Amino acid sequence: MQQRQFRRCRLSPITDLSLADFRAAAAVDWRAAVLHGEVSCVELTSTALTAAATLHRLGAFAELDPEFALARAEQQDATVAALRRRGGSSAAQDLAARAPLTGLPTAFKDLVPVAGLPLRLGTRAVPENVPAADHRLAGRTHRAGAISIGKTQVPEFGLPCYTENQLAEPARNPLDPSRTPGGSTGGGAAAVAAGILPFAPGNDGGGSVRIPAAACGLVGLKPGRGRLPDDGPSASVRNLVTSGPLASSAEDAALLFDVMAGHRFTPARGRPRSAAQLAEGPAMRRVRQALQDGLGTLSIGVTTESPFSPDLDIVLAEDAVLALEAGISALAAAGHVVQGTDHCTGADPFWPRGYHHNFRALWTSGLADAPFSDEQLEVLEPLTRHFVETARSRGQDHTQAAVGALQEFADSAEEILGPWDVLMTPMLASVPPPVGWFAGLEPEQNYLEQCRFTPYSSVVNVLGLPAVSVPVHTSDDGLSWSVQLIGGHRSEELLLALAGQMMERSPRH
């Protein structure tokens, strides 16, 4: 990625909404339009920047970089035009294989280094810096032709499941701006759900892709531990964070996942629409084939038991139950066999005992040695400061025992699937709370309420398995509700294909 000077952009309202919504078409269709010369990279980039400025009250962005984004778009337009002059009808196919995201705008979280843009980590406690080079994942996405328009908003260090910090206005849910979009990829989810971006990369250490995807009505994929080449390869249970896509459809999520995974794009065949001639990756191909020809019969287990139980009372909202029922119906309609997990597990707890306390020790263990000065501790959000103080006061033997128990659990991760190909759970237990609700609680209660809100996500990070959040139900008040599908190692393509089938068969309204 070429170097550039850091430029700040003041967000000012723009009232012309005529080009401010990427929900008018799928990302795969915007891609085809660019590569076939029907729309320019500058037009798409301008659309995204206009939408970001128009909808600035959503708080989706920590930073915009319009000058560089437009300059990169102009360069890409020149490249596309030159290739079309030289290569004729094959130019689109060649470019689709080499740079499959050409001209598509996106943005990375303010936890991911992007060359020339400030990295703030959602905190006032540490000074911002301006990286000279992209993180490897950002570089891979840029080389695939994506155009970053800025950085999306995150909570402090990405720790909470809501996106609020002391640097800027909170991120808001486009489905109901009084409510949180979730976190920590809350800014990215808000941008995609509002039509500002066609898709966005996120990262997920305890649900940070799947939670905001569910809150905003998107598909959110958490790949398995070590699946992506730019994530940490360690098999340690301490390696919780993986990177994954957020998008409005399974097909669009597959397009971004194929790039993030470093997959090769090859010509598609047998697809009856304009995007058919363009190269596709293996995840895209799996989704397409599932929608055209089906997947064959899969065995799906369903559980509502949370690993936080019985230490925490987990109560599912009526719409969470309705979403689970909608998911079961959609899977059955696609020809899959669905049964409750008690069919095979009997009365024994589905998840290991002590998970709630062990996960808390693991989640905060890295903060015990964080070199915060007394002055920095005073600046931290109350919840982060509470985590630091708790981690420092916890005995090392306690932490090691908790991590050891979870490592043993993760070492036999696929045993949790039992006789099933895929396990389905609810995604969120309750409606996304109003902005400011979590932060208004005392830190200890704040953390517990976050666990009650998201009782099924963190355990998948501990196991290191892939999972996808799939929107299947819309409540009477217009909010979206999702289910979570958990698969075995290297089943990301299958999960996206299954998500595509479910969304096609789910009457969400």
So which residues are the catalytic ones?
109, 184, 208
Which residues make Cβ contacts (< 8 Å) with residue 197, sequence separation at least 6?
Answer: 22, 48, 105, 106, 107, 149, 188, 191
Distance CA 233, CA 502 (A): 31
What Rg value do the Cα atoms of the chain yield, rounded? 22
By C-alpha distance, which of 346, 308, 242, 265 is closest to 101? 265
- Structural tokens at position 70: 């437009």
178: left (phi over 0), alpha (psi -120 to 50) or beta: alpha
CA atoms of 256 and 141, how far apart (whole Å): 8
Pick from 166, 147, 169, 125: nearest CA to 367: 125
* Contact predicate 108/148, CB 8 Å: yes
Any alpha helices (H) in 230-306, and if so which ranges? 250-260, 282-293
Q: How far is CA 172 from CA 59, 154, 183, 226, 388, in A?
A: 6, 11, 11, 31, 27
CA distance 241 to 458: 10
H or E segment to which residue 481 belongs: strand 480-487
Angle at 413 between CA 410 and CA 415, to 5 degrees: 140
Quote the DSSP letter at residue 268: -
466 vs 460: CA distance, rounded Å = 7
Q: Is 224 left (phi over 0), alpha (psi -120 to 50) or beta?
A: beta
